[in-house]
Amino acid sequence: MFEWFSNIQWEYLYDFELAVDSLPFLMEGLKITVIIASFSMFFSLVLGILLGVARMSKYWFLRLPARVYISFMRGTPLLVFIFILYYGFPVIGIEFTSAIVAGIVGVSLNFAAYSAEVVRSSIMSVPKGQWEAAASLQMNYVQTMTKIIIPQATRIALPPTFSIFMDVVKGTSLASVITVQELLYSARLISGRTYDSMTMYITAASSIGLYASSLGISKIVWKRDITAI
């Protein structure tokens, strides 16, 4: 085993000089990654809240479509869905202004299903006694949700929501298959020119890992601040 380890040609595994020289180009790709991830986080959360509330509705015409949508999206690979959006929808007359927009829509719609389940489970985790207490104070549904249920559900939903955001960041790399020049696509272009795939993909993975880790740190800080309230 040690002989195998000593025989590794480390200079071919990672070229530090190439990585440094390629950073400006990779950072341009990282900007696109951050843009896609940021918009996708926002839209997936907003749509997830609406779907989560609809999933719990007493009206079947709200509950059933939300349930079907969530089941479909959670069971469909994101890569396939992005392909359908960008290459399939033009067949029925729906075209996106750019590949970036298609990437944002695809990631947002997919992860909204996961956000919806977080919202639903968080609301259901609030003790039943809180609902009864609100009813005893003659609060209506909107008052109960905004003043009693949502503040408590937010504390429960925060950790899994940030975990979904981290998955969103990693999911943006799939937008490269529809020619979005994000971080992975940029790394692929450089590796095709230099024939050094390991250096570029390790650098790209490290950049994505640092960005996702920053969300993990934010989760810890937010959780601490909300718990202190």
Sketch the domain layout of the chain as residue ranges: 9-228
Q: What DSSP character marks residue 58?
A: S
pTM, rounded to two decimals: 0.85
* pLDDT at 58 (0 to 100): 85
Residue of 1 and 122 predicted with greater confidence = 122
Token output for 20: 């440094």
Q: What is the mean pLDDT of residues 94-108?
A: 92
* pLDDT at 225 (0 to 100): 53
**Cα 125–chain centre separation:** 23
Q: For residue 220, what pLDDT band results from cuts at 50, 70 and 90?
A: low
Cα distance between residue 40 and residue 191, in whole Å: 28
Segment (H or E) for 59 = none
Cα distance between residue 144 and residue 142, in whole Å: 5
For every residue of 84-97, which 3-state class applies, written as one string? HHHHHHHHHCCCCC
* pLDDT at 112 (0 to 100): 95
Percent of the chain's residues with pLDDT above 90? 37
Q: What DSSP character marks residue 127?
A: -
* pLDDT at 41 (0 to 100): 92
Tell me the per-residue pLDDT of 18-27, one tens digit each, with 9 for 90 and over.
888 898 999 9
* pLDDT at 47 (0 to 100): 95
What is the CATH code for 9-228?
1.10.3720.10
Cα-trace Rg, the chain? 22
Percent of the chain's residues with pLDDT above 70? 89
Q: What is the mean pLDDT of residues 198-213?
A: 86
Tell me the per-residue pLDDT of 159-173, one tens digit each, with 9 for 90 and over.
888 888 888 988 998
Q: What value does the mean pLDDT of the chain take? A: 86
Tell me the per-residue pLDDT of 27-53, one tens digit each, with 9 for 90 and over.
999 999 999 999 999 999 999 999 998
* pLDDT at 134 (0 to 100): 86
* pLDDT at 7 (0 to 100): 67
Ramachandran category for residue 152: left, alpha or beta (phi over 0 → left; psi -120 to 50 → alpha): alpha
Q: How many Cβ atoms from other residues are within 10 Å of residue 88's Cβ?
A: 12
What are the b/e assignments for 2-29, b being 16+ CB within 10 Å? eeeeeeeeeeeeebeebbeebeeebeeb
Q: What DSSP character marks residue 56?
A: T
Cα distance between residue 51 and residue 56, in whole Å: 9
